[in-house]
Amino acid sequence: MKKLMISLCCIVVLTSLLASYATASSPALPPENYKGPVAERPTFQPGEYWSYERPNGEKLKWVFEGNEGNYLVFLSGSKKVRLITTLDLGQLKRIEEATGKVTWEATNPEDIRFPLWIGKTWSFPVQVKSENLGGFVTVWGRCATLS
C-alpha cells in the first residue's frame, strides 16, 4: 500500500450557514513549480488503516476489512461502526456493527480528490441522512491538505 503521507483536514458545516458560499477548488494536478510530496489514491490490504483528525481534535481510525464490489469496507478502531466508502474514500454509510442500523448515509458522497499535495483545497455540498441531524440535510464540506 502506498502510505498516505499528507494529512487532510475536512470541515463540515450546515448549508443554511453557507447558502451563498461559492465552491472553491484547487486544480486537478499540482502546479508545475510544486516540489513537495504528492499522494495518489491509496490501495488497502486487510488490516491496514485510514486515519484523520477532525477540526475539533477528534482522531478517527478506520481499519480496512475488504472490498464489497466497487466499495471499501472499514471498521472503526473501536469496532463499533462499519464504514462503507467509494474507492476514493467518499463516505457512503456508517452502520452500527451490533445492530446493523444505518446511522449516517450520503446520497451523493464526495470523494477525496486525489492526487493530494500540500495546499490543495476543495469544497462540496453533500446530502446526508442522519438521525443526529434530524433526517435529510445538506452539509458543506471544506477540505484542505495541510502537511
> Looking at the domain assignment, is residue 128 inside a domain?
yes
Range of the domain at 37: 8-145
Chain centroid to Cα 24, Å, comes to 17
Higher pLDDT, 72 or 116: 72
> Which pTM was predicted?
0.70
Evaluate the CA torsion angle 38, 44, 45, 49 in order and state its sign: positive
- pLDDT confidence of residue 11: 39
Place of cell 458560499: 21
- Side by side, the strands of the sheet bearing 135-145 are 8-14, 135-145, 121-130, 102-106, 91-96, 81-85, 71-76, 59-68, 49-53
Give the model confidence (pLDDT) of 5-34 as tens digits.
344 444 343 333 333 334 456 677 888 898
Number of domains into which the chain is organized: 1
Residue 42, pLDDT > 50, answer yes
pLDDT at 132 over 80: no
Mean pLDDT of 116-124: 83
Helices (H) then strands (E): counts for the chain: 0, 11
Q: Which of 101, 91, 98, 37 has the alpha carbon at shortest distance from 60? A: 91
Residue 136, in any domain of the structure: yes
Is residue 2 in some structural domain?
no
- pLDDT tens digits for range 88-101: 888 889 898 889 98
In a domain, residue 20? The reply is yes
Asked if residue 102 belongs to a domain, the reply is yes
Residue 3 lies in a domain: no
pLDDT at 26: 65
120 within domain boundaries: yes
